[in-house]
């Protein structure tokens, strides 16, 4: 049973790691807008996510209400269009493929939207062939964790095997 769980977990990781690119919906349900309140920010949206070369950012906005322009950091900080990288994308939704490693900065050029928080910075990492892929943590023994409060019942297979927990050193339940 543990073998089955471990095998399933390994297969999931293989599938996960084989994915060539990830599509990131910028702002998720909010899309590419002026942040609706002070709890939302594009830096919060980006934090904790891994952006890799080849991934796609989807900026979901209404044409003629917003746009997307890549700029250098100074222009991102100051909300100006100085030294823009490439040209402004006016048609939404806009898909942008992250083509290089480093930090990429995007702003909306409409009115004061950028000053109101419609700006995004993402740090893009490269995936070296055969090298370390940040999305593929090496398989290594998990640190010994305390036994679960509710041990699995011996006579029933769980509907959803605990994929995220590596098997502990507990003896298998006696049947
Ligand atoms: C802020 O806006 C986000 C996105 O629309 C929403 O999920 C969240 O509940 C809002 N928070 C507050 C405090 O209004
Ligand atoms: C942009 O990406 C979305 C999500 O993957 C996809 O549905 C859409 O067809 C893409 N649009 C273009 C123009 O490639
Ligand atoms: Cu805008």
For the chain, what are the domain ranges?
A: 20-125
Q: Which atom of ligand 2 is nearest to the CA of 56?
A: 2
Residue from 85, 89, 92, 103 nearest 46 by CA: 103
Q: Does domain 20-125 have CATH number 2.60.40.420?
A: yes
95 lines ligand 2 (CB under 6 A): yes
169 lines ligand 2 (CB under 6 A): no
Residue 170 main-chain phi, psi, to 5 deg: -75, 145
Q: What is the pTM of this model?
A: 0.69
Other residues' Cβ atoms within 10 Å of the Cβ of residue 27: 23
| Pairing relationship of beta strands 23-25 and 56-59 according to DSSP bridges | parallel
Neighbours of ion ligand 3 (CB under 5 A): 66, 108, 110, 113, 118
For residue 105, how far is its CA from the centre of ligand 3 (angstroms)? Answer: 15
For residue 95, how far is its CA from the centre of ligand 2 (angstroms)? Answer: 6
pLDDT tens-digit profile, the chain (175 residues): 444 544 444 444 444 455 578 999 999 999 999 999 999 999 999 999 999 999 999 999 999 999 999 999 999 999 999 999 999 999 999 999 999 999 999 999 999 999 999 999 999 999 765 445 555 555 455 555 555 555 444 454 444 444 444 444 555 555 4
Residue 24 main-chain phi, psi, to 5 deg: -105, 120
Asked if 56 and 21 touch (Cβ cutoff 8 Å), the reply is yes
For residue 49, how far is its CA from the centre of ligand 2 (angstroms)? Answer: 20
Cβ neighbours of residue 164 under 8 Å, at least 6 residues apart? none
Asked if 69 and 36 touch (Cβ cutoff 8 Å), the reply is no
Which one-letter DSSP state was computed for residue 28?
G
**Minimum CA distance residue for ligand 1 atom 14:** 37
* Predicted local distance difference test score (pLDDT) of residue 123: 98
The b/e string for 152-162 (b: 16+ C-beta within 10 A; e otherwise) is eeeeeeeeebe
For residue 100, how far is its CA from the centre of ligand 3 (angstroms)? Answer: 25
Asked if 2 and 152 touch (Cβ cutoff 8 Å), the reply is no
């Amino acid at each position: 049973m543990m073998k089955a769980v471990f095998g399933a977990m390994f297969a999931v990781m293989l599938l996960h790691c084989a994915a060539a690119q990830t599509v990131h919906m910028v702002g998720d349900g909010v899309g590419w807008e002026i942040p609706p309140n002070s709890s939302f920010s594009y830096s919060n949206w980006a934090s904790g996510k891994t952006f890799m070369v080849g991934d796609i950012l989807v900026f979901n906005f209404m044409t003629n209400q917003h746009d997307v322009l890549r700029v250098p950091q100074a222009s991102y900080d100051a909300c100006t269009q100085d030294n823009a990288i490439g040209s402004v994308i006016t048609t939404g939704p806009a898909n942008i493929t992250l083509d290089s490693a480093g930090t990429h900065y995007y702003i909306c050029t409409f009115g004061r939207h950028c000053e109101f928080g419609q700006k995004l910075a993402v740090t893009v990492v490269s995936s070296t062939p055969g090298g370390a892929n940040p999305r593929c943590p090496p398989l290594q023994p998990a640190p010994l964790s305390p036994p679960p409060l509710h041990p699995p019942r011996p006579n029933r297979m769980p509907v959803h095997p605990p994929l995220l927990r590596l098997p502990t050193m507990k003896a298998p339940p006696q049947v």
